[in-house]
Amino acid sequence: MKKINSLTILVASFVFILAGCTQIEKTCIIKGKLVGFKSESILLLKAGEDMRFEGLEIPVQNGTFEYELKFKHPQGYKLFLGEVKKRAGGRPMALFIESGEINITLYPEEEFDKNIVKGGKLNAEYQSFEKELKTKFYNRAKPLSDNIDILYKKGNYYSDTMQVIFDKMKQAKSHEEKLPLYRIQTELQKAGLDYSDEAKIINDKQKKIWKEAMEWQQNYINQNLSIVSYYLLFQDITYRKDKIDIAKANESYQKLSKKFKGHPYNEALGYLLGSIDKIKVGGKYIDFTLPDMDGQLVKLSDIVDGKVALIDLWASWCGPCIAHSRTIVPVYEEFKDNGFTVVGVAAEFKNTEQLKKALKREKFPWLNLVEMDKQNRIWEKYGIPNSGGKTFLVDRDGSILVIHPSAKEVREILKEKLQ
């Protein structure tokens, strides 16, 4: 047997220790105070998290808060006031978590521009970036934003038809009453009938400024390979992929993922960028295996291959999703014996109790699978992170025919292909 020398052991031990160091937990002490208002908590969301079901909620006592956060990789968070969970929305502030102590001074939500964050190189870098961005673009866009606020307060921002829908939504006393309103709202948006003529003019001017801003930001990311840039890239691909240069975004991703090996952004952004190439008309659906309502694992391809199929990604908490799925029921009944099928995939969190209630109420006649707690990253793979859902009509060979078609569009395609 060959003798193992001490140098070999030493090198192997060093490599092992070095590899282990990348997984050692680090600590960030988050301290803060509220100025001029009260809140029961603050909410920290990682990039890609949904405030309705995820996030770290830190209690506020006597106007102050303190929390010891353990982490493995520095990354950006969105900080909200805890009340946003009740009203499902609010104004965020970017916060970067790294080793050491961070001190935060928070003002009321409408005055978040006055917030102060001290501590950490990443927060300092982000503040410098944001200052330059505001100087170059926000100041130009602010007069337009002010005009939009005036239109909104006067009730002239949305079209008369859309405003009626919003008013009815406020008056609706149940989820059941809101469902048909969601469908009308979506149809108005698709037809470009959601804003008033005056609002459209202002929105078009804003779009030109933000297009310049996005180009500048993409250049910044590509030239500054840091966690701040990686966070900005994550936001762009998640929320603004139709407004950025995808080739440049992919170039930045390749550089950043190579530099920050093992970072949680790597996998998530890899899926999102992959979805842009794959999930499109003419592309192929992405296969997966998920449990049905009885816990039995089902492979999607076993159900849809050889048929024209509608893959319906939805959620029990998504009103517009349910409203859309309802319109598909009569189409399904009409064509189910002629080579058409529907597979529902529900995105749920923690348990399936709400899903069971929704299925009992809606009685959708097709198979429903469950994506629990984003375990399989289905929504990211299909390019709809943080969305309630979307539908994908695929042909017998698995190619995507149309994305999120109306019931009328589905019926017309099925008449052509199945009759």
Q: For residues 60 and 75, what is the distance between their CA atoms, to the nearest angstrom?
A: 23
The Cα–Cα gap between 40 and 36 comes to 14
Which residue's entry shows tokens 């698995």? 398
Torsion of CA 89, 93, 98, 99, to 10 degrees: -100
State mean pLDDT over 75-87. 91
> What is the average per-residue pLDDT within 299-328?
95
Give Cα separations from 22 to 123, 201, 262, 263, 284 (angstroms): 22, 51, 9, 10, 37
User: How confident is the model at residue 170, as a pLDDT?
Assistant: 86
**pLDDT band, residue 221 (cuts 50/70/90):** very high
Q: Give mean pLDDT, residues 254-273.
A: 95
According to the model, what pLDDT value does residue 17 have?
A: 45
- What pLDDT score was predicted for residue 23? 63
Cα distances from 117 to residues 2, 105, 207, 232, in angstroms, run: 59, 7, 30, 18
Select, from the ranges 18-27, 84-93, 257-266, the one with the highest average predicted confidence (pLDDT).
Answer: 257-266
Mind listing the domains of the chain with CATH numbers?
26-119 (2.60.40.1120), 130-157+195-278 (no CATH), 289-418 (3.40.30.10)
Query: What's the token pair of residue 409?
Result: 């569009």
d(CA 246, CA 263): 21
Query: How many other CB atoms are there within 10 angstroms of residue 232's CB atom?
Result: 23
Instruction: Kindly report the average pLDDT of the chain as a whole number.
Output: 91
Neighbours of 73 (CB within 10 A): 16
C-alpha distances out from residue 94 to 277, 294, 315, 331, 367, Å: 30, 41, 28, 45, 41
**Bridge partners (DSSP) listed for residue 26:** 71
Enter the tokens of residue 94: 């970017």
9 has pLDDT over 90? no
Reported pTM: 0.82
Residue carrying the six token digits 């003419």:
282
